[in-house]
Structure 1
Amino acid sequence: MRWHLPILTLAATAVLLTVPAPSRARSFALYAQAYLDSNRTAAARVTAEVPFKSLVFFKKEGWYDARYQVFLTIAPADGGEEYTAVLQGHAVARSYEETDKIDLRAKSSRTFAMKPGKYQVSAALRIQHTDLVIRRSVELTVPDFLATGLGFGSPVVLMLPPGSEATFARLSEFKAAGAGGDTEAETTDLAEDQDASLALFQRRPAVRFQLYLDDRDAAPLGCDLFYEVTDPNKQQVLYGKHPVRLTGRDDSFILSFNVDDWDPGAYKINLRAIGEDGIRDASASVVLNVDVTRAMLGRNFDETLEILSLIADKEELRGLREAAPDQRVAAWSAFWKARDPDPSSLRNEALDEHLRRVRYVMRNFSTVQPGWRTDRGRVYIRHGAPDRIERATDSRYQGEYEIWRYLSTGRVYVFYDMFGLGDYRLVQGDMF
């Protein structure tokens, strides 16, 4: 239901839209993650993520090009020797419109061997052909991973192909059985004859991880591996334990999950290993994003149809809406095949983009209701990321305006948050 503001507020909105667009706001994100590498050495990966909107592009033959540098300094909190590096960044846009996109980003990263301790990571972004310098800093803690003689390598999320029924095994056993697919990649490639929309239901998400003893020649160690999965609301949905025996040489494992009954969202997987000696203890965690599950076509079927109605009309949804429960997966496949922009490719780009948008609004716009039910979420799923976002404060009521502009179509949407709680309501602009 459209939310109506007092006449005075609507008048203020109309005036606001006549103000020229502000100069481009520039920023970037800085991330630092500590982990234990395959040589049993503590390491940190520092990543700079720069939105295309923050860069300066130059027109080339058929594309637009931008370059930048990120000067990194990692300073120990105790005043020891600093780590420094320069990241060379490069971004390519296929059109002028892409150069101003908020959700397109260039990434540059560097890995450092680190000593345990606390650090301050500072970065200065310099955009080529300009005098612009943008600074960011984050704190980094590098734990002593092997303090107890036992440590985890950095867990990696991957997808196992259909037919991978084992829930836990050594990585070597998965490969020997031919069930692991390309376990060196974060996701497995699709077979040429495989339907991309069906594969999302058939593949099993899994976590690949390593356990390290502090000495390759140490005596074998028995330990219990505990795992816990928590949902986006931090409620435990799964818990278990597997006994393992570590040799100090080939201790890589695969832990997979059946997510058919899970709701889409970001789940956290917590791992902990406790040695039989009661002294060695290690833990690690990783986030698993679940986009498609059979629950979407089961108990959450009405919600799935509601989300799809943002991008499709009633006639397009008829086949899926009227399908019997045991035919919904096939109807889902038919729906997305009809929208596939390039049937010759192994991916269904329309489905990938739709799932990305739903994931984005769930992460960024959820309040007391899921992100896809909010006004901003509905517009985002329908039209994608805006080309420009402007913000202003209502001087009379102290509410916050957010104006989304889609330059290629001329669409403008105005949202208003009256109480400053992030509950932005659409006050100007038609959804469809």
Structure 2
Amino acid sequence: MVRCIPIRTLSMTGLLAGLFTAGVLTSAIAQQPQRIPPPQPAAAQPGDMSSTIRVDALAFRGSLFDDKARVDLYLAVPYQSMEFQEYNKMFAAQYRVTMAIRDTVGRKLLDTTFTRQVAEADYGTSRGKTGKADIVQRSFTLRPGTYRIEVTVTDQFSRRDYTQTKTLTVSDFNDELPALSSILYVSEIEQRGSRYSITPFIGDAIWNLENPLFIFFETYAERVPQQVGFSWKIAQKDGRLLSSGVSGSAETLKEKTQQHFMRLTYPPRPTAGTYSLTVRMHPFTTVLDTNETVSMTTRPFIIPRTATTAILSDLNRAIRQLRYVVPSQSDIDQILGAPTEADRQALFEDFWKKLDPTPNTTRNEAFEDYYARIEYANKVYKSYNEGWLTDMGMIYIIYGEPMNIERYTSQTGSALLVRWTYPNSQTFTFEDNTGFGDYRLRSALPPGARYQYKR
């Protein structure tokens, strides 16, 4: 088996996702004794970036005696997408899942609906502070072909709907051998002697590239034993390569169905975009012959273009825009005074890490909210300066949208005035003496006023 590096001990929520001993996974969901079932997901997946659902559809060989494949459908429902309500000193949520599978002409081959309940004792966890997601897995059998899989999640309390669709091509894994299954991303692996526990990573979008990422796949062979090796490549359609790797030694296929893990590597701060991950199996004699491919499998590998990507394209400007969140100008000067751009970016990122309301997730809501306010201010409150430098822009960035807005003229009729009212009867009055929308704050800011994230 391709050797992978065991990583840190998992929490109980990440344990017992799927176990295997001596190359054979043991899973509670196994329904077909002819094959080795793929890993079953943990109850919750940490580190989720998005507040919408994510879906994976993976094809594995079913029986050795017919062409039906087993399709494992994984669903991740982040806590941020649920509305929790307090009940009996717990915080509970409930949602309904509808799964449908259609063929290429739109005929519905499967339609199933079920309900899930989630309960947490900690309020912060229920609000998404730890990045938890409820993980669901269902298995179906399908003949070779191309299918459209539709998943809809309806939150019971908010009545919000979330929908994801996937296109899956199912191969005949008994037709052309050797063959490779679909690829499952794996975020965590823990080795306990000859046993392993894994946490699957659901979806094609890889939000957190700082943590290790592994892949799981199966090989199907007619002739055993035989020696093979593997290579992998992450590249865009035009051939631009993100990263690649090969197995370090020969892998002996001892079973007609065998399972493998490999660890992916990539450069720091890779360019956002849509890539494809391709895994190839090669013959191995005395060395790995990568010029000959006996089987291959692919899946999308997406690095999302986040707000961070756009903001860091002009780092010095983003640092100067910290003026409404830092305690003093000296904090900005210290970051700008770093000797290299890499040092400035490290200090900038460290600053925002300290303000992250959900430090156990890859998402920093305070960072996103602050720069979203700056972008809005630039669009709405631009005058002789950029919107974030105007008085209206400053108040909006620090306090957000006002609860009430009043417009009137001064007693002399020579100036236009706007009053913004916030909760607790806090008001700010702006005056335009030019008639060109150059509104100036009539009074000083309260002492210590600066941006604070509020969910």
User: TM-score range with shorter-chain normalisation?
Assistant: 0.3 to 0.5
Larger radius of gyration: 2
Give the TM-score of the pair, scaled to structure 1. 0.47
